[in-house]
Amino acid sequence: YLGPREGWKPDNAGTWRSVGEHRPSDNHPVVNTCALDAEAFCRWLNASAPPGTTYRLPTEAEWEFACRAGGDGLWGHGDDERELVKYAVFGNQKGAPRPVAGLRPNAFGLYDMHGNHAEWCAGTGADLRPVRGGKFVNVAGQVRSAAREWLPPRSVEAGFRVLRAIAE
């Protein structure tokens, strides 16, 4: 963990968005971040957020609700595994994370909830934190709506999605 980045820019090596030899563009998901960096990013956003607006990582329940988009299927689109290729990058079919929004969104209009790159969820554990969504290398069962992984908060094996909360 290197601490929050100045102005939240990638370091010179581009490690927060590189995967091996793959050098993604700004259209790719944020990858290779630890939970502590994801939380630092939210604090950085909150420092200049309008009154009544806060940014944070979603809880596991919020993440899964958003993923399922009001449904109760194995994936956000339902239970048909054959349809998953229309919504998710998984099974190492592309060899690396792909640009975001390259496939169909779920019923809530959210892209890449399954596969492509796993996402940190809010957690308070010092030893392990929840990660949801699965990665491009995972098989279909590992990118289900209910699938989860637990990683140490300093692990750099996930990315993140930010939730914006607006007070009424």
Q: Please work out, in degrees rounded to the nearest 5, the angle formed at the alpha carbon of residue 44 by the alpha carbons of 43 and 48.
A: 105
Residue type, 54: T
Residue showing tokens 């944020």: 30
Query: What pLDDT, on a 0 to 100 scale, did the predictor assign at position 1?
Result: 36
Asked whether the whole model's pTM tops 0.95, one would answer no
Q: Which two tokens stand for residue 17?
A: 């968005």
Beta bridge partners of residue 130, listed in sequence order: 150
- How many helices (H) and strands (E) the chain has is answered by 2, 6
Query: What pLDDT, on a 0 to 100 scale, did the predictor assign at position 46?
Result: 95
Rg for the chain, CA atoms, rounded: 16
Query: What pLDDT, on a 0 to 100 scale, did the predictor assign at position 13?
Result: 46
- The CA-based dihedral angle spanning residues 104, 106, 111, 114, taken in that order and rounded to the nearest 10 degrees: -100
Q: d(Cα 94, Cα 39) in Å, to the nearest integer?
A: 29
Beta bridge partners of residue 22, listed in sequence order: 19
Q: From the centroid of its chain, how far is CA 34?
A: 12
Residue among 78, 136, 77 nearest 104 (CA): 77
Query: What pLDDT, on a 0 to 100 scale, did the predictor assign at position 19?
Result: 46
Query: What pLDDT, on a 0 to 100 scale, did the predictor assign at position 39?
Result: 94
Residue 99 is classified by DSSP as -
Contact 38, 58 (CB under 8 A): no
Low-confidence ranges of the chain (pLDDT < 70): 1-24
Q: d(Cα 151, Cα 92) in Å, to the nearest integer?
A: 21
Q: d(Cα 112, Cα 61) in Å, to the nearest integer?
A: 17
Share of the chain above pLDDT 90, in %: 71
